[in-house]
Structure 1
Amino acid sequence: MKRWLCGTAAALLVAGLAGCGGDGNDDAGSAETADSGATLTLWTRAATESISKQYAEAYNATHKNKVQVTAYPNEEYPAKIASAAGAKALPDLFASDVVFAPQYASQGLWMDITDRFGALPIKDKVAPAHVTNGTWKERNYAVPHTIDMSVMLYNKDLFTKAGLDPEKPPASLGEFAAAARAVDKLGGDINGTYFGGNCGGCNVFTLWPSVWASGGDVMNAEGTESTINGKEMTDVFALYRKLFEEGVAAPASKDEAGPTWLGALQTGKIGIAPGPSAWLGVIEEKASFKLGVAPISGLDGGESTFVGGDSIGIGATSKNAAGAWDFLSWTLGDEAQVEVIAKNKGVPVRTDLAANKYASADPRIVQINNLMAKGKTPYAKNFNATYNDPQSPWVTAFRGALFGADPQKALNDGAAALSSSLQK
């Protein structure tokens, strides 16, 4: 599940580059007009390569400018960006996991695009959580490139066999647990649920929405203080811990670090589990069972989602800022979002395109698209080292909460360790 495992290399603060994009002058260093036939370099991580190339192919077919996409392995990408920033040799455009956006924006690795973005007629319809993460000190530095969200995926065939209504998914975390237990009673090699018990990014992506839907949070608004020892997070962990102790969650959940998470759900032997919305099409491509989709709910109701994916901005050292923005603004338009993203079963980055002509053929897709306006993208400058890194304090904390001898102590100690890491 490399999309959520960003590796251990965090981008470093590049003193010589910091502030390059922070003066509000969008056109600084640009020697090009918007569509002059320039060659624009775009970097992305491997997880986003196919979508980046689809954007580029469609844009190149209708513009004088030509966008050239280069992808790097997920785990090497942050270090690649840091190295290029240090050498003042960033590409014209580069995308990143959205959780890196506050870090890159604060370091000035992207140009300030506040005025350009503010002039777009659809600016208020662009994924609000992503826009917030690409903002630093009230200035915009990045826009959404791809969107992926967390949802509940459930096996309708197993629901039917367990006596559950396959058209009535759980509306609370309590109902989720009850459904998982009912499916688990089918016995044999069937399990009620599955989760990434040794995967920092997986648990951020799938457990935090239940906290948000319950009215709680995991950090303060500035992303500098952890609140994982609050009641909502404590109760969410307690529920998953109980499901594992009862054997309702598959035993492999304890050591799942991400790579085999999708495979577990593809077997058709898991009743219900949270996961990426993008897996709907991936699983159904080869599945012999019917798959249902539901929002991730809170302890007693509500719904939320982690709005993940990638952000993209103009490299601070680019000499083709006007051309780079021409490409970025085009990717946010109707043509790109409907004919490139929606046509290929992706989630549009615009809230007004949820029920587009392609999504309307499948109510589940519309449901997923509509969740974007209800979700969150956590905002923290030091997110990767704090949460995604396999050696992060987050992994220690949630492992203790799920499987340790003293769950509350694990969360109390974890909150302190996480706050310390977030403030670095």
Structure 2
Amino acid sequence: MKPRWRIRLALLAMLTLTTASACGGAEEQAAPGATGGVTITMWTRAATQAQSERLVAAYNKGHKNQVKLTVIPTDNYQPRIAAAAGAGQLPDVFAADVIFVPNYTSQGLFLDITDRVGALPFKDELAPSHMKLGTLDGRTYTVPHTLDLSVWFWNKDLYEKAGLDPEKGPATLKEFAEQARAVDRKLGKDGKVHGTFFGGNCGGCYVFTFWPSVWAAGGQVMDAEGTTSFNDRPPMTDVFEVYRDLYADGVTGPTAKEEQGPTWTGFFPRGEIGVMPMPSTTLGTMPEDMKIGVAPIAGPDGGESTFVGGDSVGVSATSKNADAAWEFLAWTVSDEAQVEVMAKNKDVVARTDLADNKYSAEDPRVVLINSLVAKGQTPYALRFGQTYNDPQGPWLRLAREAVFGDPAKVPQLNTEVTKSLQQ
């Protein structure tokens, strides 16, 4: 792991690029609440705005203490946190993409809540991937806030028209490819329907949708320290080959190679795709009359896994209202919040013991999605963003060569991924 003083230097470098206007204003400081309690401040990124707003509204309705929520554009969120940290103006509570939580814990931005979490009767049922990335040197700093899992969706109507069993989705990556080909072969002549789709020019899309097939096959994409890449070996290369063949045969649709991310999930809801990896959170936004099957992402020959994404949340290290802030966080992972706020709105619950609750039980697909929380993974790497999410980073170049270009270049490009992880 990179020495902490080097991480802090990196943080200071980021701060020099951020204007003073990015800092939180005085109006966002904690103040006595109108009800006689304490008003704590909370920041979240726009990507999780809906869930955060629902949780805050429900909490404020039933508690003496209150939460004042500020939603920040997702692209501006990391610079805003960095600037606020440098100026000593972090809110009482802030959420963060779970992938970036290790950076914040390493920088000392979160309060140590080990003992508080340990006192929760359901502490062992909190989403394991989120808890792992919120732990540093055996101490706990965050709890799960929102969860978004990668799964396979298939269009039952298209399957039936293509002569497939509409009630039987793929159980292996090879079956995924076979079923996608069948849909494309039977229904793709007009150019409107395609067997599958993926974000071929989007580093984060590859991570979210391809890596679970590696995990399902018993493999890994990095070492445990997040400093060495294994993306030049099976089963990763086997997964690349499946998608490479699908694209070469025209099964993915013509725009997959150029898809940069913003619209990659927009084709399935229009009834244009037979089967594809999708974020679990999109299930509740699908057309009501669309018949959709949901399956775990599998490896080439079976298994199942998922990329457990979403956000974690913690108390800032500089908060003057730590007790009130923790009261809110503890409530967000309680039965009441997880069932009556999250599950009621078809969001993935943050606790494995609540996977089959009264709301999810109404839809077996939701139960399945919830059950994957305990089976999925969230990769750890301090330089995850620079390496895997950055459009100019080495991972996207590797993935594009593997799928669209020359696979022989993958070993050298994998060396560049490892070099980026170790900087």
Structure 1 segments unaligned to the other structure (5+ residues): 1-9, 18-29
Give the conservation status (yes or no) of the 8 Å contact 1:92–1:317: yes
Q: Which residue of 1 aligns with 2:350?
A: 349
Q: Which residue of 2 aligns with 1:361?
A: 362
Q: Structure 2: which amino acid aligns with 1:13?
A: L
Q: Which residue of 1 aligns with 2:315?
A: 314
Q: Which residue of 2 aligns with 1:238?
A: 241
Rounded to whole Å, the distance in 2 between the matches of 1:390 and 1:73 is 19
Q: Which residue of 2 aligns with 1:182?
A: 182
The count of aligned residue pairs is 396
Rounded to whole Å, the distance in 2 between the matches of 1:276 and 1:123 is 26
Deviation at 1:11, TM superposition (A): 11
- Structure 2 counterparts to residues 323-338 of structure 1, below 5 A: 323-338=324-339
Give the conservation status (yes or no) of the 8 Å contact 1:221–1:379: yes
Deviation at 1:301, TM superposition (A): 0.3
Give the conservation status (yes or no) of the 8 Å contact 1:31–1:319: no
Give the conservation status (yes or no) of the 8 Å contact 2:135–2:141: yes
Give the conservation status (yes or no) of the 8 Å contact 1:31–1:320: no
Residues 83-115 of structure 1: per-residue CA shift (max 9 Å, x gap):
001101110000011100111111111111111
Deviation at 1:54, TM superposition (A): 0.9
Rounded to whole Å, the distance in 1 between the matches of 2:31 and 2:115 is 18
Give the conservation status (yes or no) of the 8 Å contact 2:401–2:407: yes
TM-score normalised by the chain length of structure 2: 0.91
Q: Which residue of 1 aligns with 2:418?
A: 419
Give the conservation status (yes or no) of the 8 Å contact 1:284–1:291: no
Q: Which residue of 2 aligns with 1:254?
A: 257
Residues 40-86 of structure 1: per-residue CA shift (max 9 Å, x gap):
10001001112111111111111111101101111111000000011
Q: Structure 2: which amino acid aligns with 1:289?
A: M
Q: Which residue of 1 aligns with 2:48?
A: 48
Q: Structure 2: which amino acid aligns with 1:119?
A: A
Aligned CA-pair RMSD: 1.9
Structure 2 segments unaligned to the other structure (5+ residues): 1-7, 16-29
Deviation at 1:416, TM superposition (A): 1.1
TM-score normalised by the chain length of structure 1: 0.91
- Structure 2 counterparts to residues 268-287 of structure 1, below 5 A: 268-285=271-288
Q: Structure 1: which amino acid aligns with 2:152?
A: M
Give the conservation status (yes or no) of the 8 Å contact 2:45–2:95: yes
Deviation at 1:166, TM superposition (A): 1.1
Deviation at 1:133, TM superposition (A): 0.7
Q: Which residue of 2 aligns with 1:294?
A: 295
Report sequence identity in percent.
59
Rounded to whole Å, the distance in 2 between the matches of 1:396 and 1:81 is 29
In structure 2, the CA distance between the partners of 1:14 and 1:64, relative to structure 1 (3 Å rule), is farther
Rounded to whole Å, the distance in 2 between the matches of 1:31 and 1:417 is 49
Q: Structure 1: which amino acid aligns with 2:337?
A: A
Between 300-309 and 109-118, report the one with greater CA deviation: 109-118
Q: Structure 1: which amino acid aligns with 2:63?
A: H
In structure 2, the CA distance between the partners of 1:295 and 1:14, relative to structure 1 (3 Å rule), is same
Rounded to whole Å, the distance in 1 between the matches of 2:216 and 2:144 is 23
1:255 aligns to what SS in structure 2? coil
1:393 aligns with 2:394: yes
Q: Which residue of 1 aligns with 2:27?
A: none
Give the conservation status (yes or no) of the 8 Å contact 2:154–2:276: yes
- Structure 2 counterparts to residues 208-219 of structure 1, below 5 A: 208-219=211-222
Residues 194-251 of structure 1: per-residue CA shift (max 9 Å, x gap):
0000011111001000000011110001111111011100010011010000001111
Q: Which residue of 1 aligns with 2:158?
A: 158
Q: Which residue of 1 aligns with 2:22?
A: none
Q: Structure 1: which amino acid aligns with 2:323?
A: A
Q: Structure 2: which amino acid aligns with 1:418?
A: V
Rounded to whole Å, the distance in 2 between the matches of 1:12 and 1:97 is 19
1:403 aligns with 2:409: no
Give the conservation status (yes or no) of the 8 Å contact 2:31–2:38: no
Deviation at 1:292, TM superposition (A): 1.0
Rounded to whole Å, the distance in 2 between the matches of 1:363 and 1:128 is 22
Give the conservation status (yes or no) of the 8 Å contact 2:31–2:39: no
1:143 aligns with 2:135: no
Give the conservation status (yes or no) of the 8 Å contact 2:44–2:70: yes
1:111 aligns with 2:111: yes
Deviation at 1:423, TM superposition (A): 1.6
Give the conservation status (yes or no) of the 8 Å contact 1:14–1:85: no
Deviation at 1:281, TM superposition (A): 1.5
Rounded to whole Å, the distance in 2 between the matches of 1:362 and 1:307 is 20
Residues 15-64 of structure 1: per-residue CA shift (max 9 Å, x gap):
9x9xxxxxxxxxxxx999xx971111000100111211111111111111
Q: Which residue of 2 aligns with 1:13?
A: 11
Deviation at 1:156, TM superposition (A): 0.4
| Superposed structure 1 runs of 4+ greater than 2 Å apart | 10-15
Q: Structure 2: which amino acid aligns with 1:197?
A: G
Q: Structure 1: which amino acid aligns with 2:378?
A: T
Deviation at 1:297, TM superposition (A): 0.4
Between 288-297 and 35-44, report the one with greater CA deviation: 35-44
